[in-house]
Structure 1
Amino acid sequence: MKYPAYRQYKDTGVAWLGVVPEHWEIKRLSYITQCLDGKRIPLNREQRSEMQGEYPYWGANCVVDYVNQWLFDEPLVLLGEDGAPFFDPNKPVSFFVNGKIWVNNHAHVLRTTNELEERFLAYALNCVGYGAFIDGATRDKLTQSDMNSIQVQFPPKIEQTAIADFLDRETERIDTLVAKKRKLVALLKEKRSALISRTVTRGLPADAAREFGLEAHIRLRPSGIEWLGPVPEKWAVIPLKLAIRFIEGPGIMASDFTDDGIPLLRISSIGKRLVTLDGCNYVSHDLGTTRWSHFRVKKHDLLISGSASTGFCSEVDEDTVGSIPYTGIIIIRPYPKTDRGFTRWFFLSNLFVDQSNLAKTGSTIQHFGPTHLSRMFIAFPPKEEQTAIATYLDRETAKIDRLVEKVETAITRLQEYRSALITAAVTGKIDVREYV
């Protein structure tokens, strides 16, 4: 919807604000709010666990916990003191709160004057260009002194309320749409996961089997493994080590890293379909071709993470051949009787995830390695059927992925529209008084 502009504007002299309606004022934050930071009391993790309750414990940009006591019980505006949200338009740094709350020392606490609508101020502070105010010496930090010097737009109170009412209604409408679309994304991802797991343990659906010239599986037999359940009658259930070879990357000391040389792959390298060099370190050619030469990956090797993060299985291509995976990454090489694509889908299925969750050890970073893989099992069809399953899943998951991408693009556009609408309304670029 296209909203009208105001009739006349004036230049504020404030770089991030630009022009505002002629009858609006510009005031420093210290003139229109009272800072209550002196009443904040931070709680450590142990104290928060002892005070679990119903009152929000606010931090830099969100509620971080709930406690059984409160420090404030009035309408307030909270403004984050530090963190990345200062530079991310989709992450608010300011919040309007009303009721019993506790605030830690990472959020400024502002009480407004009678002439200022708290909700309007919260919206306005999310549009400030904070680059001119934060102290980046050690981290992005908005000091109390710099905060007080921020100049903000100051319409008449009745107009502030109208703008806040309009934005409350419109942002709620947008947020509802975003929530519905996020729910759709979650359902699509659940459908994708179920499709993968069902196909690698039960085989192709009848119509797909006929498409690939295969016999549909009508009869199932007990797999002999309780958590696996029945499998197609003509499938084997074998130890994973009989279908693939696997080796974990070496532990390499940081002192062996070099500025260039042979790439040393890290967990960040295996979050996509193909292995990337994202976040990689390097080791010298001498060490990479002698001490660690047998760890260098070959084209079409599959790599998985042995750490707490599962759900990724990436393939080596021309760009990453010869790299060395760091410890925590496991190289997977299928035997000739095992289709590489089918192997990849196995590692993306619940059949693998469930077994890996049982196998993980360690109290901080739960880890599994080749020893654990050697104890796992795989439902194993003939190779011709493995290839058909891989082709089918490539095609069907691509359809779902395109839908997910389309919905996520719509979410991004809604979020961008939400941000732009707030900025336009609170800076007076549009006049929304007649739309309340």
Structure 2
Amino acid sequence: MNRFNKMSQGKTNSVVDWLGDIPSSWELIRLRFLCCIGTGSKDTVDNVINGKYPFFVRSDNVEKIDEFTHDEEAVMTAGDGVGVGRVFHYYKGKFAAHQRVYVFTKFNNCKAKFIYYYLKSNLAFEVLKGNAKSTVDSLRRPMLANFLVSLPSFNEQESIIRFLDDKTSEIDSLIAAKKKLIDLLEEQRQAIITEAVTKGLDPNVKMKDSGVEWIGEIPEHWNLLRIKYLGDAILGLTYSPSDVVSKNEGKLVLRSSNIRNGKIDYNDTVYVNCAVPPKLITKEHDILICSRNGSRELIGKCALIDRNSQDQTFGAFTTVFRSEINEFLFYIFQSQLFKSQIGSYLTSTINQLTISKLRNFPVAIPNDLERKKITNFLQKKALEFDSIIKNEKNAIDNLKEYRQSLIYEAVTGKIDVRDYKKEEALS
């Protein structure tokens, strides 16, 4: 048979909009008749970095814990938060789950792995049904209990599981390879930036010791200066929850969540209606820096303010650096040297890059002409890298969409995989 034959057996109308027609030999059964529906009992604070057992929470990341609450085959999904209808786990063995994670166990007349694939493909359709938002806040047990499952025979479930295990593994390997390539490209980009802002573009230039161990040698005619002599570091606006208003009533506050890949991202926006000092109004070429965050890895990430993001303000967990040479300094802030030193500025109790630490950061500065040449060179390189990385990310999105489509077609009987064999896997 062909790898993806359309289901040849008779069809029947499921009377479920998103499910459509299903093979006439399949049954429609509510989830509560197929398994036990419970929840975890642990909280986020219970995780242990090097714990013995997997700890399933409301995200794709699996934490660790030192004690288990289950020792069985289970399927799990997020009960609230952004993971509702999007985060699913399958596991067999000893584990624990967060108290807002639904845990499906003790499967009856069905295979756990089939339920995993079925929910992963279809639960979001039901969760978002009649909801104008692209996400919902929580998942209620009655909705899960009454969720309709189109169920084939045991043998056909096993064929579908075997088919999807092979195909999703194949697709996941392709995605992993592309993600690895993106990481390598990002490393190469940073290496080029670091080389340009510390050594310049002339490989034959005479060098001198910078006097700073982690900077090393710099071109002889460059000057080593503290950032504070080049411009001003400005801490962001402090505002209260009562100051937050709708988009049409206030001024946009740029926060660390708006800094993504060196650019301003507007997917998570907050507006305030309060007094904003003129100094805290963003200007074109300002550098917005994440100076405080719950995640240490995000400290120091930055974006260059452009015409679209000027005339706004910025939040207290961010800092703006303002100078006449920010187009050059922006690349210093994106270099490996800056990122490698961020960790030394943080304490064990708080993840914060203080104004004082930032102002005293040493940088090597060339003359105006050379600085412009380096900036132009790096801008051109950035466009090249951005184009390649964008293409790889688009390819990843397409692979994810294909994977989701394949799961849906298999678990709803749109394609016939009853005779699928391992050797038919794509190369």
Give the TM-score band, short-chain normalised: 0.7 to 0.9
CA contact (8 A) 1:57 1:66 kept: yes
In the alignment, does 2:2 pair up with 1:5?
no
Q: 2:224 aligns with which of 237, 250, 261?
A: 237
CA contact (8 A) 2:58 2:87 kept: no
Deviates more, 1:380-389 or 1:71-80: 71-80
1:409 aligned partner, one-letter code: N
Change (3 A) 1:401 1:78: same
Deviates more, 1:413-422 or 1:268-277: 268-277
Q: 2:95 aligns with which of 94, 101, 106?
A: 101
CA offsets, 1:240-290, max 9 Å, x none? 222233333444455566663554443345546565776242446xx44xx
Q: 2:330 aligns with which of 316, 321, 344?
A: 344
Give 4+ residue runs of structure 1 displaced > 6 Å after superposition: none
Change (3 A) 1:170 1:392: same
Change (3 A) 1:362 1:26: same
In the alignment, does 2:319 pair up with 1:325?
no
Deviates more, 1:15-24 or 1:70-79: 70-79
Change (3 A) 1:195 1:424: same
In the alignment, does 2:366 pair up with 1:366?
no
Q: 1:128 aligns with which of 122, 135, 155?
A: 122
TM-score normalised according to structure 2 size: 0.83
CA offsets, 1:372-428, max 9 Å, x none? 233221111111111100000011122111111111111111111000000001101
- CA–CA distance in structure 2, aligned partners of residues 72 and 326 of structure 1: 43
In the alignment, does 2:193 pair up with 1:204?
no
- CA–CA distance in structure 2, aligned partners of residues 161 and 75 of structure 1: 16
How many pairs are equivalent? 405
SS in 2 for 1:379: strand
CA apart distance, 1:201? 0.6
CA offsets, 1:146-171, max 9 Å, x none? 32222211111111111110111111
Q: 2:213 aligns with which of 226, 229, 241?
A: 226
CA apart distance, 1:46? 5.8
In the alignment, does 2:161 pair up with 1:171?
no
CA apart distance, 1:325? 3.3
CA apart distance, 1:359? 3.2
SS in 2 for 1:20: strand
- Per the alignment, residue 393 of structure 1 pairs with 378
SS in 2 for 1:431: coil
CA apart distance, 1:231? 1.0
- CA–CA distance in structure 2, aligned partners of residues 169 and 244 of structure 1: 57
Change (3 A) 1:227 1:150: same
2:414 aligned partner, one-letter code: K
Q: 2:303 aligns with which of 308, 313, 333?
A: 313
CA offsets, 1:64-109, max 9 Å, x none? 433444443333333443343344xxx343x332222334432223
Change (3 A) 1:263 1:196: same
Change (3 A) 1:163 1:271: closer
- CA–CA distance in structure 1, aligned partners of residues 40 and 257 of structure 2: 38
Query: Superposed, which structure 2 residues align to 1:253-264 within 5 Å?
Result: 253=240, 260=249, 262-264=251-253
CA apart distance, 1:352? 2.8
In the alignment, does 2:145 pair up with 1:156?
no
In the alignment, does 2:256 pair up with 1:267?
yes
CA contact (8 A) 1:9 1:21 kept: yes
- Per the alignment, residue 409 of structure 2 pairs with 424
1:43 aligned partner, one-letter code: K
CA contact (8 A) 2:68 2:94 kept: yes
- Per the alignment, residue 183 of structure 2 pairs with 186
Change (3 A) 1:108 1:361: closer
CA-based RMSD of the aligned residues comes to 3.1
- CA–CA distance in structure 1, aligned partners of residues 46 and 317 of structure 2: 35
In the alignment, does 2:192 pair up with 1:195?
yes
In the alignment, does 2:393 pair up with 1:408?
yes
SS in 2 for 1:192: helix
Give the fraction of aligned pairs with identical amino acids, expressed as a percent.
Answer: 27
1:407 aligned partner, one-letter code: E
Deviates more, 1:425-434 or 1:126-135: 126-135
- CA–CA distance in structure 2, aligned partners of residues 109 and 121 of structure 1: 9
CA offsets, 1:184-209, max 9 Å, x none? 11111111111111110111154xxx
- CA–CA distance in structure 1, aligned partners of residues 156 and 60 of structure 2: 28
Change (3 A) 1:100 1:129: closer
TM-score normalised according to structure 1 size: 0.82
- CA–CA distance in structure 1, aligned partners of residues 194 and 238 of structure 2: 33
SS in 2 for 1:85: coil
- Per the alignment, residue 212 of structure 1 pairs with none
Deviates more, 1:168-177 or 1:4-13: 4-13
- Per the alignment, residue 425 of structure 2 pairs with none
CA contact (8 A) 1:273 1:315 kept: no
1:4 aligned partner, one-letter code: N
Which of structures 1 and 2 has the bigger CA Rg?
A: 1
